[in-house]
Amino acid sequence: MKFDSKKFISKLVSFESVSADSACAGKVRGCAEFLKDSFEKFGFEAELVKTKLHPIVFARRNCSSGKPLVRVLCYGHYDVQPPDPIGEWKTDPFKAVVKNGKIWGRGTADNKGPFTCIIAGFMNFISKNPSADIDIAFMLEGEEEISSPSMDGFLKKYSKVLSGYDFIVLSDTSSASLDQVVITTGIRGVGAFEAVFRGAKSDSHSGIFGGAVYNPLRAMSEVCASLHDKDGFVSVPHFYDGVLSPSKWERKQIKKCPFDSKGMASVLGLKRLMKQRGWTPEEAVRLLPTLEFTGMGGGYQGEGNKSIIPAECFVKISCRSVPRQEMGKMLSRVKRAIIDRCPKEVEVSFLDSGDAGDPYFVSPSEGGKILRKAFSTMDRAAAEAFGKPPLYLREGGSIPLIAKMKKLTGLDCIMTGLFTPADNLHAPNEGFFIEMMEKASLCYEKFFAEMSKRDGSPGKEKRRGK
């Protein structure tokens, strides 16, 4: 019996699994319990791994022969972003609706729909090949949208078990369009902090003290303005240390991507995009580190005017790093530059915002025999299922967990993007294309079938921990 992906996704969407909202904790757990029960019905050994926040679903199915040709670890997350602003949704965010070629609802594209495609692909394959020599595990967490705070402990506790697999498969990255799938080769690291600028002990009268007190808002504005140069680059010493020039094949792949500068500008509603000298916008979002101001405030915010010099103000800063850069060092360099450039009349301090995550990169042509076979197999499966070869691109977004898993387990990751720029991730009216779901499920079915074949398989290669 063929796996019913639409029914499965619809059930997942019905759980309001918002990890950031403590009021939804019971619904998050309900989603995890549904997944555990489902895997058990599929013939897996499944457990809910308890954490301080939300459980991790870990489900395993080993081949009957006990001699797997390949062992695959699949990752996904069942938690979702808050649905706000509710008033902008055209449908109930937690009641899946199928219309206009999409299944609509919070989490359909990020990440309940994509990881369902992996499950569907495997279940459709194994139903036809129940004795296939393949071991598989699914690791689905409920905290990805809040930076995966419980995964460090899980990875350390289960490191020996996880290291026994050959590679990781996930679909939590993007593709250029519905008919052009992308295999993601790299993701940027991410880190953030808040800089607080303080002057007098309280707000002061701008008439009595104006001209004698260095306004923290002015100091902050001057410092922020100094962090980028006229060519659009970050003006912080050593910020670009470790950045490598892209290879010819990467630049060729980027040029083939249908989601180009015009597409980005159209989606964003902009007449033009910012350009950094020597780099196209398409290259910059994938290959360069960034420093962005994500919020700032200070002083009187109400109607009319209030004649004060504020005592303090703040700016929120987010940075992205690229492979061969360490996020912690980058943040330290930015903080040092802010301290050095802040006027001595104003004090500056910092509040860190969550864990920093390092970047990740994998080359499809490097690594062990099993990993190379997996990439070439995914390439063929994607070309057959989607009608054209996949592109190989780095992505500007971040999944900090991937670099951690590489460090703790040694496993590399094959990341096949399934959501598109048209899917409204983290926004109202999130949706997932039915056509994408069907093609992706077929892609994974072909992938698992090819990887479990004995002829030409990498089964003789000694695996980690074996």
Domain that holds residue 255: 244-282
Reading phi first (left if > 0) and then psi (alpha if -120 to 50, else beta), residue 149 is in alpha
* Encoded tokens for 13: 């969407």
Rounded distance between C-alpha atoms, residue 60 and residue 62, angstroms: 7
Do the domain assignments include residue 464?
no
Residues 67 and 209 in one domain: no
Mean pLDDT of 142-151: 92
Same domain, residue pair 119 and 233: no
User: Cα–Cα distance between 117 and 143 in angstroms, integer?
Assistant: 20
* Residue 201 belongs to some domain of the structure: yes
Q: CB–CB of 224/348 below 8 Å? A: no
Read off the pLDDT of residues 8-63 as tens digits, 9 standing for 90 and up: 999 999 999 999 999 999 999 999 999 999 999 999 999 999 999 999 999 999 99
Residues 199 and 341 in one domain: yes
**405 in a domain, yes or no?**
yes
Task: Decide the pairing of beta strands 167-170 and 70-77.
Answer: parallel
- The DSSP code for 87 is G
H or E stretch at 283: helix 281-287
Residues 212 and 315 in one domain: yes
Query: What size, in residues, is the chain?
Result: 466
**Domain-embedded: residue 130:** yes
Residue-wise pLDDT tens digits, 48-60 = 999 999 999 999 9
Q: Are 170 and 76 in contact (CB under 8 A)?
A: yes
Phi, psi of 9 (to 5 degrees): -65, -40
Comparing 32-46, 242-256, 383-397, 429-443, the range with the smallest average pLDDT is 242-256
Residues 94 and 160 in one domain: yes
Residues 10 and 157 grouped into a single domain: yes
Query: Rounded to whole angstroms, how far apart are CA atoms 425 and 112?
Result: 12
Collapse the DSSP code of 121 into the 3-class scheme (helix H, G, I; strand E, B; otherwise coil) and give the result.
Answer: helix
For residue 457, being part of any structural domain is answered with: no
pLDDT digits (tens, 9 = 90+) for 276-324: 988 999 999 999 999 999 999 999 899 999 999 999 999 999 999 999 9
Please indicate, yes or no, whether residues 12 and 115 belong to a single structural domain of this protein. Answer: yes
Asked if 295 and 322 sit in the same domain, the reply is yes
Element (H, E) at 188: none
- What stretches of 55-155 adopt beta strand conformation (E)? 56-61, 70-77, 97-99, 102-104, 134-141
CA dist., res. 429 & res. 128, Å (int): 36
**165/458 Cα distance (integer angstroms):** 13
Q: Average pLDDT of 423-450?
A: 97
Indicate which CATH number applies to the domain containing 446: 3.40.630.10
State pLDDT tens for residues 315-354: 999 999 999 999 999 999 999 999 999 999 999 999 998 7
Residues 34 and 173 in one domain: yes
Query: Is 251 buried (19+), middle (13-18) or exposed (0-12) by CB count in 10 A?
Result: middle
Residue 459 lies in a domain: no
Amino acid at 455: D
Encode 369-379: b = buried (16+ Cβ within 10 Å), e = exposed. Answer: ebbebbbebbb
Query: Same structural domain for residues 198 and 342?
Result: yes
Question: Which uninterrupted H or E stretch holds 335?
Answer: helix 327-341
User: What is the Cα gyration radius of the chain?
Assistant: 24
Nearest to residue 374, comparing CAs of 194, 116, 168?
168
Q: Which helix (H) or strand (E) holds 179?
A: none
**349 and 378 part of one domain:** no
Assigned domain for 456 exists: no
Residue pair 421/269 in contact by the 8 Å Cβ criterion:
no
Structure tokens at 11: 């059930």
Helix and strand numbers, DSSP H then E, in the chain: 13, 18
Q: Is residue 45 in a domain?
A: yes
CA distance linking residue 403 with residue 406, whole number of Å: 5
pTM of the model: 0.87
Task: Indicate if the pLDDT at residue 435 is higher than 70.
Answer: yes
Report pLDDT digits (tens) over 148-195.
999 999 999 999 999 999 999 999 999 988 989 999 999 999 999 999
Pairing, β 290-298 against β 167-170: unpaired
pLDDT at 1: 64
Q: What is the CATH number of the domain that holds 202?
A: 3.30.70.360
Strand segments (E) across 102-235: 102-104, 134-141, 167-170, 182-187, 189-198, 204-205
When divided into structural domains, the chain yields a total of 3
* Beta-carbon contacts of residue 12 (< 8 Å; ≥ 6 apart): 31, 34, 35, 78, 107, 112, 116
| Burial state string for 4-31 with b = 16 or more CB within 10 A and e = fewer than 16 | ebbebbbbbbbbbbbbeeeebeebbbeb
Asked whether residue 47 falls in the same domain as residue 136, the answer is yes
Q: Is 367 exposed, middle or buried (0-12, 13-18, 19+ CB in 10 A)?
A: middle
Percent of the chain with pLDDT over 70: 97
The runs of H, that is alpha helices, within 165-241 are: 216-226
